[in-house]
Structures are given as C-alpha cells and as structure tokens.
Structure 1
Amino acid sequence: MTTNIIELLNAILLNEKEYLVAAIFNSIAYRFDKICRKRYAEMNSSRTIFVLEAKKILRENITKGDKLYVNNINESTDKFTVLGCGPSAKVNLSKRSCSYRKFNLVKLSYAHAMAALRLKHEDNYGSSTYNYSSPIYSKELYLFAYLEPICVVPLESEWSVAREYLEMQFLSSDFDFKVERRMAKYVKGVLESSRPKKRNKCSKCKRPGHKRTTCSLNIGK
C-alpha cells in the first residue's frame, strides 16, 4: 500500500515490464478488469445506500455530533451555530458549508453538520445524512463506474495503421542504459573556508593524537 499511484503501479507491474508494449497494456487491462469485477460483485451484494467506507464515516460522525450543542441563528431552519470542543462552528445546510471546512471539501456530513441535522430533523435524522452528502459516495454511482468495459489492445494483425506510418524507419538508439553515472570529485570553492580536520581525543587524558589504549597513563600500570 502506498499513497503514490506511480509507485503502486510499478509494484503491481514488476514482471510485465519485460513484456512487449501490446502485452503490457493487455496485462494492465486484465488486472484492472479483475479488480473491478471483484469490487462490483462485493458492492452489488451489499444492502447499503452509500458505500461501506462512507457509511462507516457517517456512523462515526453521528456519534461525535451527538456530543455537540446546537443553536439556531435567528431561528433559521438551515443556519446553525454548533458548540463543542474548541471554537464554535457555523453550519449552513442549504449551502452544504461549515466554518470548519470539512463539510465543504469532502461533501460528507461531518460531526458539526450531523449536530445541525439532529436539531432540524430531531431523532429521525438518520436518513437525512445521505441527502446532505454528495451522491458520489452512493452505491448506485459506485456500481455505474465499474460497468464501463476496459479496452484491451487487439492483435497486431487487426491493427489499422496509416500507410505513412508503416513506411517510417526508426533508427536504433546508441545510448547504453547500463552505463552508470560517474561520480565527480568534489572541488572546494574559492570562497569556502577551509575547515581543520577533526582529531580524535583520548577519553582518559582528553589529549589529541592517541587513543585510550595507547595513552601514557596506562603504560606505567
């Protein structure tokens, strides 16, 4: 697992790097098609409105929101002031915004928005959490995204290439990729001050030039 998508793909496709270009693309398409089919089957069998991870976050935010205190702003039905740990937060349900910015950026009902929904819909606000969250977390859109087929590279005999490209001649590269970079010796600049070499000191007499084992204080013993 890695947060860098390039490193992730390189780790998955270690063996495929030795294949021909067409075979590489076919292998990539096969791997992703296998992953997509597996995830589609898992999500299709679940009975949730949102994907499992989003539903888990919503449950956690409901628990956190129950511990916050909410107050209406000028008796409005969409503007609330939420108090709790730290400074107060202003929530606007109609604009899907919160001064803590999480509600704005992630488009998912976070703790402060949950507290506002609790006051607006009272105890029956469980289903409203989905209405105030982005539909990108819904199971329907998740399944729709995995319905698109992944195109593979056809056989070379089936390729349709223009004649002008077929007549092109490409020269082989003379560059040797195995040649390693030579290490250059560091040259001190004119303005750089010369530093004296650090000399080791004896740990017994604290004098430089020798070690503890060859110290003169040990010779007479």
Structure 2
Amino acid sequence: MFDNGLEMSCSCQKFDLVKISCEHAMAALRAKYGDGEDYGKSIYDYSSPIYKAESYLLVYSEAINMVPPEAEWTVPQESVDIKISPPLYDPKLERKKVKRTKGVGDTFKSKRRN
C-alpha cells in the first residue's frame, strides 16, 4: 500500500473496496512502528475516516424514523395498477447439465423395472 498524498491504494485493491488497510499495509506499519502504541494509532491514519468514532457518532446523531407496518402504508392507486413483468428468460444462459460418472463405491442400479 502506498500513500502519494492524494490517494492510498494497493495492488490487492482491498483498500479500494472496503476502505480499510489491507494486510500488506498492516505489515508495513508494523515494520515501521513495531507493536507499540504508535502502531495502533497509525492504523486509523491509513483507513478511511468513515471508520472513526467521530464519523459514526455524526451519522447516528439524528433520529432514525421507523417504517410503519405495511397495513398503514398509503400507496397511490396508479402505483398499485402498474403491471410489472418478470425479466426476460434466456434458456441458453441456464446451467448445463453434466452426466455424473459412477465412482468405485457406487452401486449400479438398473433403470428398467421388472
């Protein structure tokens, strides 16, 4: 992982996905700071600010309104009348069926009935 002043990234692209330092960055930080207190503090410098306690508290500082039960919903009639069709189905995209070969321990069963 490298920090060029503008962005942080690593060839494993974990930081790009979840904005948390990857194991490569953690190993580099441990090599730089050791296992001391500075190592624990530096982890947050190389993660996204969304994981800091201040961001968490800011997000949940306002009240979150609950959704009422479905029986109490008021839905406009034009939304109720809309007919939604299922997506188009392409049988060519279906998983191919593969015949299974009998293993050594499998018993042979005849398909014919007596």
Q: How does the TM-score come out when normalised to structure 1?
A: 0.27
Question: Which of structures 1 and 2 has the bigger CA Rg?
Answer: 1
Q: How does the TM-score come out when normalised to structure 2?
A: 0.48
Q: Which has the higher contact order (CA 8 A, sep 6+)?
A: 1
